[in-house]
Amino acid sequence: MLIEACKKGDNKARHQLYQLYARAMFNVCCRMTGNQADAEDMLQEAFTLAFMKLDTFRFESNFGSWLKRIVVNTCINALKKRRVELAFCENMSRYDTMEEEETPPEFTVQQVVEAMGLLPEGGRMVFSLYLLEGYDHGEIAQIMGITESTSKSQYLRAKRRVAEILTEQKQTQL
Query: What per-residue confidence (pLDDT) applies to 43?
Result: 94
Query: What per-residue confidence (pLDDT) applies to 139?
Result: 85
Query: What per-residue confidence (pLDDT) applies to 25?
Result: 94
Measured distance CA(174)–CA(170) in Å, rounded: 7
Confirm whether pTM is higher than 0.95.
no
- CATH architecture of the domain formed by 92-173: Orthogonal Bundle (1.10)
Query: What per-residue confidence (pLDDT) applies to 84?
Result: 45
- Domain at 2-81: CATH code: 1.10.1740.10
Residue 45 near residue 71, CB atoms below 8 Å: no
Query: What per-residue confidence (pLDDT) applies to 35?
Result: 82
- What tens-digit pLDDT sequence spans the chain (174 residues)? 888 888 888 899 999 999 999 999 999 998 888 888 889 999 999 999 999 999 888 888 889 989 999 999 898 888 777 654 444 444 444 444 445 545 455 777 778 878 888 888 888 888 888 887 888 888 888 888 888 898 899 999 998 998 888 888 887 776
**CA-to-CA dists, residue 170 to 85, 89, 112, angstroms:** 31, 21, 12
Measured distance CA(57)–CA(105) in Å, rounded: 42
Query: What per-residue confidence (pLDDT) applies to 44?
Result: 93
Measured distance CA(47)–CA(95) in Å, rounded: 39
Residue 113 near residue 138, CB atoms below 8 Å: no
Domain boundaries, the chain: 2-81, 92-173
Query: What per-residue confidence (pLDDT) applies to 58?
Result: 84
Query: What per-residue confidence (pLDDT) applies to 104?
Result: 52
Measured distance CA(162)–CA(124) in Å, rounded: 10
Query: What per-residue confidence (pLDDT) applies to 19?
Result: 94
Same fold, 2-81 and 92-173: no
